[in-house]
Structures are given as C-alpha cells and as structure tokens.
C-alpha cells in the first residue's frame, strides 16, 4: 500500500494524475522516475488536456503494460493477456466512478478554456483528482 500513498502524495505535489500513478509504480517496474515523469507529462487532463481518458487511468494502464505487456510483436498471447487486463482495469475503475473520461469525472470539459477555468476556480483538480489517483493505485495493487 505504500505505492498508493506515494501516488496520492505525488498528486498533492501538483503532478498530473498520470505522473502521480506511473511515478509511484514505474520505478519498481523498471522505468526510472525521471523517465516516467517525462512520458506521463502529456497524459494529464485526459490526454493532453483534451478531457478524454483520465490521466490516472492512463498512468495505471502504463504500469500494467510495464508488468504484463508484450515485448515482441509475435508474442500474441502476452499481448492478449495485457489487453484483457487493461479492459478489466477500465471496467473496475468505471464501476467505482461511472466512467473513465476526465470530462465526465470532473463534470466539466477541461479541453475548453471555459471548462479549464471553471475546473481551476472550483478546485476540481485538488478535490476530485486525488480520489481518482487513489482508485487507480488501489486497483493496480490488486491487479499487479
């Protein structure tokens, strides 16, 4: 459970949701924290702040790929297992929160200037996102 706490702490430091999750799990899965931060930097706000798939979900899926992903194109069994785990993760996250989409989780489209301003003004990133990071990390604890 130390990784769940670490993910929450990274979120509270102001890192985006993807960075918080992969930053907590990446180093134990062979990805340096620095590289994890760089890779995940563009996944915040629902993939480049487009309000698509939640960054916490993206970070968790990256961790699943690090642990269970195929390393060669011909390794179709491993690829299929990783896809199945990803689908399971998505379903479990959505079961807890109703969706995996940032715009629906936050109740505002941060992909627009108006939505981003509203999210910031209403403190949605500080009040809602840490819970999504925690959920993603808890599910990873169960699935890794």
| pLDDT tens, position by position, 58-70 | 999 999 999 987 7
What's the rounded Cα separation, in Å, for the pair 59 and 26? 9
| Mean pLDDT along residues 77-83 | 87
CA 91 to chain centre: 14
Q: C-alpha angle 95/97/99, rounded to 5°?
A: 80
The answer to whether 63 and 22 are in contact (CB under 8 A) is yes
Closest of 68, 62, 55 to residue 31, by C-alpha: 62
| Mean pLDDT along residues 1-11 | 89
pLDDT band at 82 (very low <50, low <70, confident <90, very high): confident
Taking CA atoms, 126 is separated from 9, 13, 49, 60, in Å, by 12, 10, 16, 19
Angle at which helices 129-143 and 17-25 pack, to 10 degrees?
A: 30
pTM of the model: 0.92
> What are the tens digits of pLDDT across the range 30-76?
999 899 999 999 999 999 999 999 999 999 999 999 998 777 787 78
Instruction: State the pLDDT at residue 124.
Output: 93
What's the rounded Cα separation, in Å, for the pair 39 and 55? 12
């Amino acid at each position: 459970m130390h990784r769940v706490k670490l993910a929450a702490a990274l979120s509270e430091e102001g890192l985006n949701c993807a960075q918080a999750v992969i930053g907590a799990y990446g180093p134990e899965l062979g990805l340096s924290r620095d590289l994890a931060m760089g890779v995940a930097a563009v996944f915040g706000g629902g993939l480049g702040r487009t309000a698509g798939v939640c960054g916490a979900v993206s970070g968790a899926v990256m961790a699943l790929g690090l642990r269970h992903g195929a390393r060669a194109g011909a390794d179709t069994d491993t690829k299929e297992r990783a896809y199945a785990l990803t689908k399971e993760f998505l379903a479990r996250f959505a079961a807890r929160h109703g969706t995996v989409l940032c715009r629906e989780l936050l109740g505002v489209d941060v992909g627009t200037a108006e939505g981003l301003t509203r999210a910031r003004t209403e403190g949605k990133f500080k009040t809602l996102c840490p819970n999504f990071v925690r959920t993603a990390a808890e599910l990873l604890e169960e699935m890794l």
